[in-house]
Amino acid sequence: MKQLLTWMFLLLIMPVANAQARQVLTDQTLKISSEESLYFGLAAGDQLTLQLQETSDKELREVSVIRYPNQVIYANLKVASLQKTLAIPGDGVYAFRFSHSGLGSRVCQVQLFRQPAAGREQFNTQVNWVERIDTIYQLRENATQRYEERQISRTRRVVASVDTIVESIINRTERVHSSTNLGGNATEIRFELPATVYQPNAQSPYQTTELVSWAYAISTGPAGDAWYQDANLRAATRQASSSMVKMGLAATGYGALAVLAIEGVNHFSTPPSGDNVLFEFLTAVSGQPKTVASGNTVAAFDKITRGQPGKYKLVLQNDNIVDAINAEVKIIAILKTTTYREEDYLETQTVPVDDREIKSLERVRVPVLAQ
């Protein structure tokens, strides 16, 4: 019983609390000959209720609510009576405009109620009027138009830096069985060359990373290993290019191959004697297989500049009928990262000057929130 009485008490006082929370902004009768406006300050999150009744049920041309100076919150045409609740989007001065364009005048009873947002009960809804200086433009007749050169500020995107990156795609030893092996004498290695990357997007990137070229080296057995190491030694000893030295490629396992891919300088010698391997690089163009490179040798290398990002396949085949072979496969991609920056500059332009325009200053009164 005690709990029931408590709930009944709460239900009775809730409407009273809500009624106390709602504020009356105005309750007045307006005589509207052409246009009348009311101005009040409102806070973000407020609920504003507008009630209007034309005493003779005649229509007003328009009723609108505008967040000063020109943001229309609500508008309605041909209004004789109205009850509308609006959510207030932000703190500011709000104008309530009532306009009439017919004969005679309109007499309206207008009521505005504010349901304050949480924590904004003490928000001051009064509006003060202050004077400010505004620029007024007028046109002067019988004036000629002339032209003059002006420096116009512009912004353009320019290259800030370009970096070269060597990315390892394949570096492994592949076992290729003899032609008499029941499992076959061919093996496949599938790989993918990286696509162009745009940061943050392709329309307006501040950085791009794109494939420039790629290179491969294939060799078999100890003779092939010695051939590859000898090429790296040549590259390190001769220091063929300044970029190779700056990037530290001479001391890596890709020295000769990287120099070939970047500079086009060859440090590989004639292939040695040994077990040969048949190889073929394949990709797909319009759904059809296309050979990018192929050969039959103990050691092979090349730089590919016509290759596109995407999926590739390397097929290795052994024509030896007795012995299997170990094929060393190294594939690298050369990527170029370009970083851009915004640069301001001045551009000389010939622009028309309208002498008909007269600029003057004028004092105007504007509504502001009361402090």
State whether 47 and 168 are in the same domain. Answer: no
Higher-pLDDT residue of 335 and 241 is 335
State whether 230 and 334 are in the same domain. Answer: yes
The domain of 196 spans: 157-342
pLDDT digits (tens, 9 = 90+) for 22-31: 899 999 999 9
Instruction: Using the predicted structure, report yes or no on whether residue 251 has a pLDDT greater than 60.
Output: no
pLDDT digits (tens, 9 = 90+) for 149-163: 888 888 888 999 999
Instruction: Using the predicted structure, report yes or no on whether residue 277 has a pLDDT greater than 80.
Output: yes
CATH number at residue 185: 2.60.120.680
Higher-pLDDT residue of 110 and 21 is 110
Instruction: Using the predicted structure, report yes or no on whether residue 99 has a pLDDT greater than 50.
Output: yes
At residue 15 the predicted structure's pLDDT band, cuts being 50, 70 and 90, is very low
State whether 77 and 224 are in the same domain. Answer: no
Residue 304 lies in a domain: yes
Residue pair 349/154 in contact by the 8 Å Cβ criterion: no
Residue 105 lies in a domain: yes
Helix crossing, 221-238 with 255-263: angle to 10°? 60
Residue pair 276/179 in contact by the 8 Å Cβ criterion: no
Roughly how many angstroms between the first and final C-alpha of the chain, as a whole number? 51
CATH number at residue 94: 2.60.120.380
Residue pair 318/277 in contact by the 8 Å Cβ criterion: yes
Residue 17 lies in a domain: no
Residue 8 lies in a domain: no
State whether 102 and 40 are in the same domain. Answer: yes
State whether 274 and 333 are in the same domain. Answer: yes
Residue 351 lies in a domain: no
Higher-pLDDT residue of 85 and 286 is 85
Residue 353 lies in a domain: no
State whether 105 and 234 are in the same domain. Answer: no
State whether 165 and 55 are in the same domain. Answer: no
Query: Across residues 231-254, what is the average pLDDT?
Result: 64
Q: Which long-range contacts (CB under 8 A, 24 or more apart) does 30-33 make?
A: 30/98, 30/107, 30/108, 30/110, 31/105, 31/106, 31/107, 32/60, 32/98, 32/99, 32/100, 32/105, 32/106, 32/107, 32/108, 33/100, 33/105
Query: Across residues 13-28, what is the average pLDDT?
Result: 69
How many domains in the chain? 2
Q: In sequence order, what are the beta bridge partners of 75? A: 64
State whether 180 and 50 are in the same domain. Answer: no
State whether 117 and 26 are in the same domain. Answer: yes
pTM of the model: 0.54
Residue pair 135/353 in contact by the 8 Å Cβ criterion: no
And the tokens for 193?
């060359």
State whether 214 and 335 are in the same domain. Answer: yes
What pairing do the DSSP bridges indicate for beta strands 106-115 and 47-54? Answer: antiparallel
State whether 335 and 231 are in the same domain. Answer: yes
Residue 15 lies in a domain: no
Residue 147 lies in a domain: no
Instruction: Using the predicted structure, report yes or no on whether residue 239 has a pLDDT greater than 90.
Output: no
What mean pLDDT value characterizes the chain?
A: 87
Residue 140's pLDDT is 63
State whether 96 and 53 are in the same domain. Answer: yes
CA distance 14 to 344: 63
